[in-house]
Structure 1
Amino acid sequence: MIKPTRSPAPIPHDPRLYTDYAQLIRIQAYAHTLNLLPNSRIASKLDGRHSSKLRGRGLNFEELRHYQIGDDIRNIDWKVTLRTGQPHVRGYTEEKDRHVIVCIDQRSSMFFASTNVMKSVVASEITALIGWRALKESDRVSFLLMDDAQCRVNKATRSQSTLLAFFKTLARTNQALNAQGIARSQQSFSHFIDHLTRNKTHGSTIFIVSDWQDASPKDVDRLHQLQRSNDVIPVIITDPLEQQLPKNLIENTLHVGDGEYQFSLAHETQRQTINHALKRNFDDTSHQLTRLIATKGLPVVALSTQGDHIKLFGQYVGGNKK
């Protein structure tokens, strides 16, 4: 009799380089650090701090009752009052159900870090955190997942099974990233906004989790338009190496490549040239873009690859500031 063979155990992934399905499930334990209710505020520690109240979907009619002293006369139901001869008011409760949309960037440019955790892992874990919290609050949550080849849309749901199915897709997409591929994407940041505009979102809370490397001022203007009827929350993931080379580079020679070409920063002149270019690029693009986002009234959430992203995100989004 032939004994059935066991399926091979899944190959463990370095959690600094890749996320996995189990990790995205474990993040549920941190969902209590968020507060996505309509009266919560998002604020940035960067220059140009702005706050934004998250929108609810409206008010639900709850009851029709006799007028009592102190009731708002604007809620008097005049038809019922005239019919009965007694003043009646309509009672309402706040409807806290919302549509939460998470746009998550998993392109090759996100497979980068010089410290603790890849940008792509940070984005995946923050997405899971938002998803779990939205589910806890019985909100509808949908996802727009972008990789180098396509944008995949996960329809709005309150179902945990649907959320878990998306996490499996997210984990597979994340683990498909590698340093061997050439960092060329068929998708651009503007595809996020194209989708949101095309679907005419209204009254939604929109998180865009990306490094925003190819976002343009025009993209920010379009998001500002969306902000008029939604709550748009940019989540910008950066890495210290994007601002300057590490100070210990003299002891550890750094090799830089894009999957096709690479070179070594073995000489001081090379390091100085690259350092100058990095600082100039950061000042001209990332820093100016962040300031532009803030001036448009969009609340910037700034995270890094240093490994404290879950704690910081909890502080930004209605959590304990201490």
Structure 2
Amino acid sequence: MEATELLKKVRQIEIKTRGLSRNIFAGEYHSAFKGRGMAFSEVREYQIGDDIRSIDWNVTARYNHPYVKIFEEERELTVMLLIDVSGSREFGSFEKLKKNVITEISAILSFSAIQNNDKIGVIFFSDTIEKFIPPKKGKSHILRIIRELIDFHPQHSGTDITGAIRYLTNAIKKRCTAFVISDFMDDNKNLEMALSIANNKHDVVALKIYDEREKELPPIGMMKLKDAETGEYVWVDSSSRKTRKIYADWWIKHAARFDSMFKKCGVDYTAINTNQDYVKSLMNLFKKRALKQ
């Protein structure tokens, strides 16, 4: 992509997603993703109604008058985005490709993090770790992430979510909030264990991006389908009810498997349809998390 075109797209994404983050997500994000706990701020004179357990006895003895400790939320977080850049993200049957939705959601989360003074980092993955951007603060860092989201060209087309989650567990030493943004087209049997281990160390949130046409085949006759990750082609007779049912049943089992896995591992998640407003899905997820705090 040419530099001028890239800058124009970066600006468009920035304007849209920064506005959404500031006007809609700011309060919800803050409530849904807590800091590391409470940190001592200062002492002040005791007032009627204060919890006597907060009295600072050393200062009280020094001034012969009761003083209490004041604590503030230690807000700063490290946020990591694990972004699936495999071949299947290029699919889309309506207005947006999965890739476009992933880009916008990632940008919104990045701006939300920066507005809350959190660090943000990114792991791009396919069936290998394509790129690691260490967590930092600042607008220039955010714009670099958006440029990469728009113009990143992976070396591989397969998917290995398990490998990406293991990389997170090993690379990020301190506890972080990690968003795994993927279509979850991965049948690795070790994924559940990797998710469970990662969520014990970090706070893992899964955002499953899917297209409506992935749920069922349209009855339009013979279709030549290409596997975006392997490059293989296959002919499918979509006019056959049996074929469409087999496909629909597979999707239901696939979705149920991940639903069960996320719940078992204690991972908060939401499924986002490329044809629907992702704002509502994210807001519902944030509100659900805030209620659990």
Structure 1 and Structure 2 fold alike (TM over 0.5): yes
**Of 187-196 and 278-287, the range deviating more from structure 2:** 278-287
Cα gap change, 1:218 to 1:227, in 2 (>3 Å): same
2:123: which partner in 1?
144
Cα gap change, 1:12 to 1:266, in 2 (>3 Å): farther
Cα gap change, 1:116 to 1:12, in 2 (>3 Å): farther
Residue type at the aligned position of 1:292: M
1:74: which partner in 2?
53
> How far apart, CA to CA, are the structure 1 residues paired with 2:149 and 2:128?
14
> Could you tell me whether the CA contact under 8 Å between 1:205 and 1:230 is conserved in 2?
yes
Which among 199, 204, 219 is matched to residue 171 of structure 2?
A: 199
- What is the identity percentage for the equivalent residue pairs of Structure 1 and Structure 2? 23
Which among 61, 79, 83 is matched to residue 100 of structure 1?
A: 79
**What are the within-5 Å matches in structure 2 for residues 99-138 of structure 1?**
99-138=78-117
Cα gap change, 1:117 to 1:296, in 2 (>3 Å): same
Displacement of 1:103 in angstroms is 0.9
**Of 144-153 and 233-242, the range deviating more from structure 2:** 144-153
Matched, 1:91 2:62: no
Which structure has more helix as a fraction of its residues? 2
Q: Give SS of 1:142's match.
A: strand
Displacement of 1:201 in angstroms is 4.5
Residue type at the aligned position of 1:28: R
> Could you tell me whether the CA contact under 8 Å between 2:6 and 2:147 is conserved in 1?
no
Displacement of 1:28 in angstroms is 1.3
Residue type at the aligned position of 1:10: E
Deviation readout 1:85-127 (Å, 9 max, x if unpaired): 3322111122222111111111112111233321122111110
Displacement of 1:307 in angstroms is 4.4
Residue type at the aligned position of 2:29: L
Structure 2 residue runs without a partner (length 5+): 289-293
> Could you tell me whether the CA contact under 8 Å between 1:104 and 1:209 is conserved in 2?
yes
Displacement of 1:165 in angstroms is 1.3
Q: Give SS of 1:268's match.
A: coil
Matched, 1:10 2:15: no
Q: Give SS of 2:96's match.
A: coil
Displacement of 1:130 in angstroms is 0.4
Deviation readout 1:26-59 (Å, 9 max, x if unpaired): 221211322211x33xxxxxxxxxxxxx331222
> Could you tell me whether the CA contact under 8 Å between 1:134 and 1:140 is conserved in 2?
yes
> How far apart, CA to CA, are the structure 2 residues paired with 1:62 and 1:280?
56
TM-score when normalising by structure 2? 0.83
Structure possessing the higher radius of gyration over alpha carbons: 1
1:28: which partner in 2?
18
> Could you tell me whether the CA contact under 8 Å between 1:33 and 1:318 is conserved in 2?
no
Structure 1 residue runs without a partner (length 5+): 1-6, 14-19, 41-53
Cα gap change, 1:21 to 1:151, in 2 (>3 Å): same
RMSD over equivalenced CA pairs, Å: 3.0
**What are the within-5 Å matches in structure 2 for residues 249-288 of structure 1?**
249-250=220-221, 254-258=223-227, 260-265=231-236, 268-269=239-240, 272-273=242-243, 275-288=244-257
Deviation readout 1:138-157 (Å, 9 max, x if unpaired): 21111112246633111212
> Could you tell me whether the CA contact under 8 Å between 1:100 and 1:140 is conserved in 2?
yes
**Of 156-165 and 292-301, the range deviating more from structure 2:** 292-301
1:172: which partner in 2?
151
TM-score when normalising by structure 1? 0.76
> How far apart, CA to CA, are the structure 2 residues paired with 1:58 and 1:289?
31
> Could you tell me whether the CA contact under 8 Å between 1:55 and 1:230 is conserved in 2?
no
Cα gap change, 1:69 to 1:169, in 2 (>3 Å): same
After the TM superposition, list the runs of 4 or more consecutive aligned residues in structure 1 that deviate by more than 6 angstroms: none
Displacement of 1:229 in angstroms is 4.6
> How far apart, CA to CA, are the structure 1 residues paired with 2:201 and 2:119?
17
Q: Give SS of 2:177's match.
A: strand
